[in-house]
């Protein structure tokens, strides 16, 4: 359950902060603020207490509570998986085990192993990444493709916007290629960042599409999630040979 006390995305105004971090020589003001926010963030504490590698785990848990994303035995692809919170949640919710792994995660960062999760250290935008993911799934279709990917920002807004849109488009194309009928696609977007064209395309391929802002997503961030459910795709395409291959 979502803790009501955490209902504002764990954000507190500066005057509410309990732990203050003194600025230190050599540390930027932005780093001091980040550290202060981490130390005062109840989701960070909860993630540690519940054994999650990231506070992001609560975002997918909250979206699952509301939108019923997971079920036992389903196959899941986790794009931008590091450090592994979403994969941990997915492994538990699907009953994935090392003997019968149902989750495949990818990130260009190195990750510690997670039981029941096959992890690839790879840039998802590399041309051979989709084929590697499909191979890791044993050539089987996925029931859920979830993406929490975001490029590091450059500070140049138009560039950042374009890069984010491009990343979502590549993730969506991959989802259309590998999802089983009735499958679900979840992707991090940024408010005002989901292009009409992409949304229009997803609406054609899924029964329902919606935006979500889970309570643990910081209210002061433009982050939001797109949830597309009920993939209408056909049974007969083999992953990797679909309409949307790159
Ligand atoms: C917000 S974090 C994901 C957190 C994760 N959902 C969790 O619960 O721990 C975003 C991740 O996306 C990854 N990422 C961004 N662009 C990527 C790309 N092109 N290929 C692979 N991973 C990427 C980053 O390395 C980063 O680890």
Number of H helices, E strands in the chain: 7, 7
Is the pLDDT confidence value at 16 over 80? no
Q: CA 127, 128, 132, 134 torsion: positive or negative?
A: positive
Which residue from 57, 107, 189 has its CB within 8 A of the most atoms of ligand 1, so it is best to mutate?
107
Ligand 1 neighbourhood includes 201 CB (under 6 angstroms): no
- Say yes or no: CB of residue 244 within 6 Å of ligand 1: no
Domain contains 108 = yes
CB 141 within 8 A of CB 75: yes
Cβ of residue 8 lying under 6 Å from some atom of ligand 1: no
Q: Is residue 136 part of a domain?
A: yes
For residue 159, what pLDDT band results from cuts at 50, 70 and 90? confident
Instruction: Look at 33-42, 80-89, 126-135 and tell me which has the smallest mean pLDDT.
Output: 33-42
HSE at residue 165, side-chain half, CA atoms within 13 A, is: 15
Query: Does the annotation place 220 within a ligand binding site?
Result: no
With respect to residue 18, please indicate whether it lies within any of the assigned structural domains.
no
Q: How far apart are the first and last CA of the chain?
A: 40
Is the pLDDT assigned to residue 61 strictly greater than 60?
yes
Alpha helices in 143-188 (DSSP H): 157-178
Whole-number pLDDT of residue 148 = 96
Average pLDDT of the segment spanning 55-80: 98
Q: For residue 237, is it within any domain? A: no
Q: Is residue 47 part of a domain?
A: no
CA of 145 to the centre of ligand 1 (A): 14
d(CA 132, CA 130): 5
Residue 7 within any structural domain of the chain: no
Please state the domain count of the chain.
1
Whole-number Å distance, alpha carbon 159 to ligand 1 midpoint, is 19
CA angle 219–194–66, rounded 5-degree value = 55
What is the CATH classification number for the domain harbouring 150?
A: 3.40.50.150
Pocket probe mutation, ligand 1, options 50, 53, 83, 108, max atoms within 8 Å of Cβ: 108
In a domain, 238, yes or no: no
* Any ligand 1 atom below 6 A from CB of 228: no
Let me know if residue 20 belongs to a domain.
Answer: no
Q: pLDDT grade, residue 165 (50/70/90)? A: confident
The residue behind tokens 């920002």 is 153
Quick one: DSSP state of residue 53?
S
Whether 35 shows a pLDDT value over 80: the answer reads no
DSSP 74: -
pTM above 0.75, yes or no: yes
Domain hosting residue 120, numbered range = 54-231
């Amino acid at each position: 359950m979502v803790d009501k006390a955490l209902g504002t995305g764990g954000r507190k105004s500066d005057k509410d902060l309990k732990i203050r971090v003194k600025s230190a020589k050599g540390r930027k003001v932005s780093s001091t603020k980040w550290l202060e926010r981490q130390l005062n963030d109840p989701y960070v504490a909860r993630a540690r207490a519940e054994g999650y590698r990231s506070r992001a785990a609560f975002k997918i848990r909250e979206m699952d509570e509301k939108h019923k994303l997971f079920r036992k035995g389903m196959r899941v692809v986790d794009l931008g998986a590091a450090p592994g919170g979403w994969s941990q949640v997915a492994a538990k919710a699907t009953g994935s085990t090392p003997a019968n792994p149902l989750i495949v995660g990818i990130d260009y960062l190195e990750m510690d192993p997670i039981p029941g999760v096959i992890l690839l250290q790879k840039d998802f935008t590399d041309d051979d990444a989709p084929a590697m993911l499909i191979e890791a799934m044993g050539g089987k279709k996925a029931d859920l493709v979830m993406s929490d990917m975001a490029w590091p920002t450059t500070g140049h807004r138009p560039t950042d916007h374009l890069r984010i849109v491009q990343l979502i488009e590549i993730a969506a194309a991959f989802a259309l290629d590998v999802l089983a009928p009735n499958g679900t696609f979840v992707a991090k977007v940024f408010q005002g960042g989901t292009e009409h064209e992409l949304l229009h395309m997803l609406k054609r391929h899924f029964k329902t599409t919606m935006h979500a802002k889970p309570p643990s997503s910081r209210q002061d961030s433009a982050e939001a999630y797109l949830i597309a459910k009920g993939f209408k795709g056909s049974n007969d395409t083999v992953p990797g040979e679909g309409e949307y291959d790159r």
